[in-house]
Amino acid sequence: MRLPQFFFSSIRFKIFILYVIALSLTLTFFNLLIYWNHKEVLEHKIDLLLDARVQTVESAVLTYWKAEAKAAKSGGNWFADLFGGAQKKPGPEDPYDTVIRYLTYDDLLSPAHDNLRIFIDVFNVDGNLVDSSHSNRGFKVLDKAILHRVLQGQKVLYAFALPSEKGRVPGRALAKLLVRDGRASQIVQARVPMKPIRAELRELLVKLFARSAAVIVLASWGSFFLVKRTLSPVDQMTRMIRNIKPDNLDKRIQVPATADEIARLAETFNEMLMRLEKSFLSQRQIIQDVSHELKTPLTIVRGQIEVTLKKKRSAAEYEETLQSALEEVVKLRRIVDNLLLLAKFDNLGLLLEMKTLDLNVLLEDILQDIRLLGQEKSLRVSFVAGEPARVDGNEVYLERLFRNLLENAVKYNSEGGSIRVVSETEADTVKVTIEDTGVGIPPQEREKIFDRFYRIDRARASGDGFGLGLSIAKSVVDAHKGRIEVQSTPGSGTAFFVWLPVGRAHHFLSTH
């Protein structure tokens, strides 16, 4: 199997490597723990063994001395007394020899370690070897420091290393002073070469690591496939995403049925696609609408100019053409201004210059114009102003917002109808209601009227609408962190509600 270059930088590979490292470290740690623990237990056991052996020798020697003293007094056979009638009698030159050999028979060795030999050495009080249970080639003299401590009456446990042809041979020993009639007499030492123990420990370590290696290989193999399976939806998603182009934004990627992070990623991606598609469609729609809106006045102007230029005209005719061309140009200018305004909001809607202002004053100002405008339809305009409605806002844009709403309330009102404006403070917000008695808005249209260039029925709107008024109103409200809603009964009227956060300065005064 040839692995692609990508494999080594893939998450799959990284997780795999991390897993192997973590597992190896953990197993190594536990192996060492087991090793140290076992080593300690073994050494402790050996120490106990040495101690027991020294004690045995000591009590035997003491018994021997006692028997010897008794025999000296009575003239009997102390050896036969002590060993139950054994015939051999030790020579006078090595009085401990038999005792020591008797006590260090191989069957007295530790049954758990049949290859572990315990040696007994006897030193005189100068630290020189007097006797030994086995041929003792290396251990002739007791170390000075140890001798010193032994002579003080301590039981000294220590590790040593004897030189040999194969390097130094490690061992452990326990030495103790024997006292006879109140005088330091001999030193008994039990000693074990540690080679077999070391070999046993080494074997344990090798076994532990060999088994761990097998576990690591098996577990890593398993983890590799597990990770591969877990991440395979990601590969699948990548392939699907790669196939999504601007012309098929309606495609959605398949969400794995796992309810995990990857499923959430897929869902989020689909949501993003949906938003993108919506925005793409609305961009396209906007371009179509803009072209359409700009085309109509331009066609009119062009037609008028062409007709006028066909022959010589009177000054009055030229003036009339220019006048109507000017009207169309003004209309064009308004569309372009509004579009620019919306584009600005899209870019820096939140960077408006804000100041605290009283909405009641602002509304009263706008209503003066609206009253004039409403006279054409004989509209009654009323304003119920609550307590000073202070908000933090941009005066120019807020005026635009309410002017758009109020102009619509005139535009879509019926002859002799009315407009009612109410401002009131609700907790942390100022609520402005603009109610009219006009044609109303069908329920299915209520969501869409805030979209750019959306007009319910072009025929019913008077000629000067572009479908931008409410989308501007919504952008202004959003930039002020407010909210806009509409309620309407088709045929009898519409109410727009705008909530804006109370100005901070005012808020401070009213709550403290």
The binding site for ligand ADP (CB under 6 A) comprises 404, 408-409, 412, 436, 438-441, 449, 454-456, 461, 465-471, 494
C-alpha torsion angle, residues 94, 99, 100, 105 (rounded to 10): 130
Residue 120 or 473: the one with the smaller Cβ distance to ligand ADP is 473
Tokens representing residue 244 in the block = 């999504």
At its nearest, how many Å lie between ligand ADP and the CB of residue 287? 18
Residue 303 beta carbon to ligand ADP: minimum distance, rounded to whole angstroms:
24
To the nearest 5 percent, what fractions of the chain are helix, strand and coil? Answer: 55, 20, 25
User: Residue 193: which of 118, 129, 134, 143 has the closest Cα?
Assistant: 118
Question: What single string gives the DSSP state of each residue in 277-337?
Answer: HHHHHHHHHHHHHHHHHHHHHHHHHHHHHHHHHTS---HHHHHHHHHHHHHHHHHHHHHHH
Of 171 and 493, the one with the shorter C-beta distance to ligand ADP is: 493
| Minimum CB distance to ligand ADP smaller for 398 or for 441 | 441
- Residue with smaller CB distance to ligand ADP, 171 or 440: 440
Report the nearest approach of ligand ADP to the CB of residue 460 (Å): 7
In the bound state with ligand ADP, the residue whose beta carbon lies nearer, of 240 and 332, is 332
**What's the chain's length in residues?**
512
In Å, what is the CA distance from 354 to each residue of 396, 427, 504?
10, 21, 11
Residue among 103, 87, 97 nearest 122 (CA): 97
Helix or strand (DSSP H, E) at 387: none
Instruction: For residue 424, give the nearest of 503, 498, 504 by alpha carbon.
Output: 498
Q: Whole-number minimum distance, CB 308 to ligand ADP, in Å?
A: 30
Report DSSP letters for 215-272, one per residue. Answer: HHHHHHHHHHHHHHHHHHHHHHHHHHHHT--GGGTT--PPPPTT-SHHHHHHHHHHHH
Q: C-beta of 482: minimal distance to ligand ADP in Å?
A: 17
Nearer to ligand ADP, 131 or 436 (CB): 436
CA distances 458 to 30, 66, 453, 507, Å, are 81, 132, 11, 43
Which is nearer to ligand ADP, 181 or 457 (by Cβ)? 457
479, burial (CB in 10 Å: exposed 0-12, middle 13-18, buried 19+): buried
Q: Among residues 224 and 454, whose Cβ is nearest to ligand ADP?
A: 454
To the nearest whole angstrom, how small is the minimum distance from the Cβ of residue 297 to ligand ADP?
15
CB of 238 to ligand ADP, least distance (A): 42
Query: Closest distance between ligand ADP and the C-beta of residue 470, in Å?
Result: 3
Give the nearer residue to ligand ADP in terms of CB position, either 46 or 441: 441
Residue 131: count other Cβ atoms within 10 Å of its Cβ.
19
> Which phi and psi (to 5°) does residue 231 adopt?
-95, -5
Name the minimum Å distance from CB 345 to ligand ADP: 14
CB of 248 to ligand ADP, least distance (A): 31
Q: Residue 383 Cβ, how far from ligand ADP at the closest point, in Å?
A: 17
Q: How far is the CB of 494 from ligand ADP (least distance, A)?
A: 4
User: What would the DSSP string read from start to end of 444-502?
Assistant: GGTTGGGSTT--S-TTTS-TT--S-HHHHHHHHHHHTT-EEEEEEETTTEEEEEEEEEB
Residue pair 474/484 in contact (Cβ under 8 Å)? The answer is yes
Tell me whether residue 455 or residue 506 sits nearer to ligand ADP (CB atom). 455
Q: Which of 11, 5, 1, 12 is nearest to 225 (CA)?
A: 12
Cβ closest to ligand ADP, residue 150 vs residue 339: 339
Residue type, 324: S
- Give whichever of 169 and 422 is closer to ligand ADP, judged by the CB atom: 422
Three-state secondary structure readout of 67-107 = HHHHHHHHCCCHHHHHCCCCCCCCCCCCCCHHHHHHHCCHH
